[in-house]
Structure 1
Amino acid sequence: MTEDVMMIINSQIKKYEIVSQLGEGGFASVFLGRHYLTKEFYAIKAISRDRAMECGLLCYLENELRLISRFDHPNIVKMYEIIYLQSYICIIMEYCPNGDLNNVINSDQPLHQCDKNRIALEILEALDYLHSRGISHRDIKPANIMFDKDMHVKLIDFGFAREQSESVSTMCGTQMLMAPEVICNYNYDGRKADMWSLAITLHALAVNCLPFEYRGDSQLAKDMKSRTLPINIIATGMIGWIVRNTLIYDPDKRASTAEILNHVKNNEYTYVVKRLPRVKRAKTSSILEQVEYRQNTPHILKVRTNKEGNPCIGNRLVRSKARFF
């Protein structure tokens, strides 16, 4: 099936050569493509029209394409072109060769705390860009946070994103990271629900574990509804502060992206622009040229240190090779 799709794309899209497959889902395949003239690499997402229609996903696809075409932020994946074929819709996107946040969390090369802070801030900057425009992502999770060739964050997957998100009721996302109001089927503000998901994601980045004991989706839903979820925040420093101020049952008491960024500006946290270790990734990584680390990273922190900025949390925590979806 994959070879058939590759043949169709290679025969009908003249500008790009398919180098290899990067991934596959229920109704789409993602390929590494190379532009014939510029030799630049791109991710080509080929979506089956028939499968998307059968699964009722065309409306989500249309929503994603409409939104992402308007975004212009260094930490949100760029879409360059949409090519409509008879059987497939092909989206030409920025290629992120260093995988997703799960790869970083599980890398054999542990990150320094200042590097984790930088990643957290780049995620926050991307989310603040959306929230300031009245857009909620509604599926914040490690798998939707990719890294480009310079190890900068690229937020992806806007199928569930919603404009004017003050009050929505659709249950969507990944249950392990869903906010209580989403699981309980209440009307909710999508941006505030994003902050709960962000807290869990950043806690996983900081200490490689969830901030609560996960005992399955069914038990999680029961604990959410009864407000008895045993929360245990291990993360400290900047990320610990963010988690403590966003992993809150009452959505109105969660800090917003703007409030968090303002707090970070006015407090002393370790933040040094360093080259992050390259994550061993796909077979295609060997064909990529080594590039210099670019310096236009988030600018909001001074290079100062306090005891919270460099937490030492015993041995490297927990769940080796965990995947947080």
Structure 2
Amino acid sequence: MDRIPEVAVIGAGIVGLCTAYALVERSAAVRLYESGVPGHGQSSGQSRIFRHAHDDARLVEFTRQGRAVWDEWADKLGAELVSQDGVVALGTPVPERLRILQDVGGMPVRAVDSTELRARMPLLADYQGPAMLDEGGGAIRTRTAIESLAGALGDRVVTEEVISVHPTDHGTVEVLSAAGREQYATAVVCAGLHTARLARGVGLSLPVQPAAHVRLTFQVGGAPPQRVACLQDSSGDFGEVGVYAAPYPGNSRYAVGLSQTVQVREDGSFADPHALVALNDRARVYVSRALPGLDPEPVEYLHCWVTSLPWSEDGMAVWEADGIFFAAGHNLFKQAPRLGRALAGAAVGEGLEEDLRPAAALGRPR
């Protein structure tokens, strides 16, 4: 009998791509399944925020380690993957998050006054409340990351929809796809909205909460600033609590989203079909108040699914059953290289990190 390939990875969003790439680093044979174009599901869009600030010190440390992996892979892939312009955060959560960051250590973070805030975030309206700067954060170059990883993986990426993944009676894992039936030593499922469905096939009930999300992109008025930070606004000073924003490469466009999402029924339908439109309108009003440096008419709209866990909007976990690993959570783009390495280690028999097990509730505020 021919040697069974080592690992199947299901889902070629950023977590799946990073897991497969980390397996290649370990010289493991891997096949990455994706039903569509890599990175065009929950990982879609041109920009995301890399930030260290979280309410759980364990997750801050996980993120700090992840920043080093982003830098290492940028060197290997020959591309800028995270900008150097930092992240500014506004609002009453700033002092406590700054304390947690400083307790963990190893990150250049500090409180800033309105003068430095204006220099770092020239698009922002006047603001006098609590603010901090995470100099180690920045805008993730999402398309560059997706394309670089997919290119490095080459023909290990196959365009097939996975229908089922399950253990066999002889200790392997079988993957049934639209075009075939293959066996592997193990499998890692990071299929976003479809992860919970595939997990049910092996008797796991993941507490994943699906929702829909809106992100709008605006043109910068006038010449693009040479330097502009990402933004997290929890202040409420401009009418919204829970806003994030990140520049496109070149700083000529800025993507703005509200943290609020629209919940969906179990069958994926909306209880209120107009709720996404309302979030669009609220984001436009916020930009007109908070970001006068932007043209208030959006130039791009992104509507996508998100999946979150009940203990935190930043929560993540990995479930394990019969040699199959299921990863789930929200705001995972920034965590993907570090999470990918952890998943790769688990898949080749090194054991799953305890903080990633569901009982650890990684991300829960302490």
* Shorter-chain TM-score above 0.5: no
Return the structure number with greater relative CO, CA threshold 8 A, min gap 6. Answer: 2
TM-score by length of 2: 0.25
